[in-house]
Every structure is written in C-alpha cells, then in structure tokens.
Amino acid sequence: MLKPSLFAACLTLLLASPLAAPVQARADGHPIAPRLAGLGTHHHPITAASPEAQRFFDQGLILSFGFNHREAARSFRQAQALDPACAMCYWGEALVLGPNINARMDAADNPRAYEAVQRALALAAQVSAPERAYIAQCHAQGLYPVAYVPHNHHFLAAAASFIGAKEKALAASLHIRDHQDTQLMRQPGYATLQHYWSMPYFAWVRFGQWDRLLTEPAPAEDLIYPSGIWSYARGLAQVRTGDLDGAAASLQRLATIADDPEMAATRLWEINTMAQILGIAREVLSGELALARGASGEAIEHLQTAVRLEDELTYVEPSDWYVPARHNLGAALLASGRAPAAEAVYRKDLEVYPANGWSLAGLAQSLRAQGKTAEADQVRRRLAQVWVGHGGPIATSRL
C-alpha cells in the first residue's frame, strides 16, 4: 500500500489540482497554469532568464514523467509566457505533445508541436551545448525528442503484419530516419539508442520471421551491441531452419560480444547493462541450440539460467528483455516430457504478464499433456479472448 504522503503526491500528479497561488502570465491577468505543490524536487537546469520559468519547466518535466501530458503542456506554456526567449520551454511542449509509450500523437497537436519545435530552433543559439543537442535531435526526428526514442515504433513497423489495423496505420505514418539515428547512437551518451535500434530483431524472433532474419545484413562492425542482438536473433533463425553449425557460429560471435568489457560498462538509461541483456540472449540461444541437438538436460540448464538473469534485471517499463525466457524454458520442458514443470513455469510468467498469449498457449499445452482437459479448454478460451486481432492462432509458447 502507498504511504499517505506518496499517495498524495501521486494523486496530485494525476489530478494536477492547484495547491499554490497561481502565477499571472497572460495579458488578461489569468494564468495559463498554476504552481503545484507536492510534486517532488526534481530539477533540470536550463537557460532561463526567469527563475519562475525554470520552476514551471521543472514542473512540466515532472508532470510528463507522471504521464499527465496535458497539464505538463500547460506548465511549459506558462514558462514560455514568463520567459519568451527560453528555448527549452518550447522543447518541453513539443516533448509532451508528441507520442509516448502509452499513446500515439493526436493529429490535432501537430501544428502546435511543429511551431514549438521551430521556436526552440530559432532560440537555440542562446543556450548551452546539451540543450542545443536536445533541440537538434527533436528537429532531426521530424518533431519528437530523443526521450521518446522513435524506434519503439520501428518495433511496431517490424511487426506490422501481425498487429491490428490501427497499429499498422501508425507504423506506416512514422518516418524512421535510420541514417541519422545510426550516427547519433555512436555519440557519447547516446548508446542507449542502440538498444531501441535493435528492436526489430526482437520482433522478428517473437513472430518467427526466420527468413527475414536470415536475409537481414549484419550491423556495422562498430555497432557492437546491435551486432550481438543480431547474432542472437540470427542464431535462433538458424536453429529453427536446421542450420546448427551456423547457429553455433552465431552463438560464438554473441558470446565474444557479451564478454566485451564495453558491454558491462554501458547501461541502458543508466539502469541495466548491455552485458546483462546479451547474457540472457547467450543463454537462450545456447539452450535452443542444445535442445535442437537432443541435449535436453543441458538446454534446460541454460534456459533456467536465462530466466534467472531476466529476473535479476532492474525493473523498467517496457522491460529491457522483450521475449520472456520462460517461453523458451516452458517449451523445452514440454519437449522433455516434463509437463508439470512446464505448467509451473507458464503460471509464473502469467503472474508477471497476465494476458500473455504465448504463455497461455504453453499453459494449455502443458495442461493437456497431463490430461487436465477441462482446465486446458478453459485456458484456450482465455487465449481466444486476449489474442483477438493479433494474427493467427498459436499453439506453443515460442515459434
């Protein structure tokens, strides 16, 4: 249960109730946004002539972290009114008018967002180098700032043939500037972008796009982390298509990259290291290769290690590992005739992801293997409900 003080802070974020005297900003004497109390003390220094504009910028940023984007936009506009020359105050408005991990962009906001970007660009010469970098990237992406990483939508584009019509339309409407993103993620401080650039590999693995993966060229050699994820995904495709020697070569390449000290020193959003993600990938590929070679005991050991490593990741949304290792472990246990153990694995995964279609499919399969027909049928009905609009039926937890 939330502590009372934390509950009050969360409620303030959601409702944005004015808890302090409003600030006069408009010519008619009415404020654009109120000053709010109870939001914490987060401070991101910017170039601002007005201390009050800085406070409203911080307030807008805090509200954006709490997903109250409309109230955040009002705070950024209040900051602009207090300091019309504050470039980052316009950048902040563009930030919250753009898409986020929970919602697409409202087309009605495009003109205002574009105007905010252009105003930030016009004022960029007056600000610090880091602020200019934020603004330049905002412009480079056509509107959206780096904080929202458009490769979230590259993932959608990769999976477009398996998702609903609305998502397909969203993916088709986004213009991913691969060359610019590739150059940016080579710069110091932007290595996290390599993770999101690699998202299509995870998508193709999730949906069993083995031919697509086998024809996908390797990333540039200096993009070490994407090369590791590519090796993992390609190795799985080779396992599924019977090229076990090729899969072994991919595994060796992945292992070399996973052991590179640079991977242990580089974090995604300063949270989990690239080495942690590549470690899970190595264990999953090792397990699947061992299973294909008939070494089920070795396979299960590798996949149990993958599950443990995944569980040890610091929590973040969305997870830094996109294809739950329990999908692979459950399938390996079923293939080894250990249906009760597989059932336990799938039930554990469903505690984390209650509507996970892949685990529901695996759970139904494991129940049927134990003769629990009524329970299996009940799970299949649940799967039919959650899988509507996500493509054809699935029978197992991993393709």
pLDDT of residue 240: 97
Distances in whole angstroms, Cα of residue 184 to Cα of each of 49, 72, 87, 151, 188: 30, 27, 21, 13, 9
Q: What value does the mean pLDDT take over residues 334-354?
A: 96
Range among 47-56, 145-154, 164-173, 200-209 with highest mean pLDDT value: 47-56
Query: What distance in Å separates the CA atoms of residue 34 and residue 56, rounded to the nearest whole number?
Result: 9
Q: What value does the mean pLDDT take over residues 231-257?
A: 98
Report the DSSP beta bridge partners of residue 177.
none
Which of 38, 35, 37 is CA-nearest to residue 57? 35
pLDDT digits (tens, 9 = 90+) for 264-297: 999 998 899 999 999 999 999 999 999 999 999 9
Q: What value does the mean pLDDT take over residues 97-121?
A: 85
Strand locations in the chain, DSSP E?
267-268, 272-273
pTM of the prediction? 0.64
Query: What distance in Å separates the CA atoms of residue 231 and residue 215, rounded to the nearest whole number?
Result: 13
pLDDT digits (tens, 9 = 90+) for 119-143: 999 999 999 998 998 888 765 554 4
In the chain, the largest separation of any two C-alpha atoms, in whole Å, equals 77
Statement: residue 5 has pLDDT above 60: no
176 vs 385, higher pLDDT = 385
Q: Which residues contact 272 (CB under 8 A, 6 or more apart)?
A: 313, 314, 316, 320
pLDDT of residue 176: 37
104 vs 339, higher pLDDT = 339
Range among 105-109, 140-144, 185-189, 332-336 with highest mean pLDDT value: 332-336
Statement: residue 259 has pLDDT above 50: yes
DSSP-assigned states of every residue in 55-110: HHHHHHHHHHHTT-HHHHHHHHHHHHHH-TT-HHHHHHHHHHHS-BTTBPPPGGGH
Statement: residue 86 has pLDDT above 50: yes
The percentage of residues in the chain with a pLDDT greater than 70, rounded to a whole number, is: 80
